[in-house]
Amino acid sequence: MADLLTREERQEHLIPLGEAGWGAVPDRDAIRKVYIFPNFIEAWGWMSRVAIWCEKWNHHPEWRNVYRTVDVTLATHDADGLTSLDIKLARKMDALASASTAARYQSDISEPIACLCEPDPRR
């Protein structure tokens, strides 16, 4: 099982992800991003490429697809929060989306990621 991110890891990794469009999921130690592709084929193709890495790393997102939009939430379920696996997968998703034609993201869907930079004191 992967360990939850430390305070230092959160500062180092979550702020750049926030700048790349990832946001905090309310009431969860999780991150979310909504990718928008030019069409369904581009969205599905991206999901297929991501799925290969998910299987390779044995780490799978919560996601849903409606036409050209893919809504992704990342958290490591057996750790009950964010781990290095989520950071790694978020970066891979962004890299694969950058390679796609005209992929963009919707930036007003989550809370600012900075609220996740401090570990939850209830843990």
**Tell me, what CATH number does 71's domain have?**
3.30.1360.20
User: pTM of this prediction?
Assistant: 0.86
Per the structure, the count of domains in the chain is: 1
- The token pair at 11 is 């500062």
Closest CA to 86 of 39, 27, 28, 26: 28
**E-strand stretches of 14-119:** 23-24, 31-36, 62-66, 69-74, 104-106
Decide if 91 is inside a domain: yes
d(CA 103, CA 33): 13
Average pLDDT, the chain: 87
pLDDT tens digit sequence for 38-96:
999 999 999 999 999 999 999 999 999 999 999 999 999 999 999 999 999 999 999 99
d(CA 84, CA 5): 7
Decide if 13 is inside a domain: no
Residue 108: per-residue pLDDT: 60
Which domain, by its residues, includes 91? 20-116
Mean pLDDT along residues 13-24: 92
The angle at the Cα of 91, spanning 89 to 92, to the nearest 5 degrees, equals 65
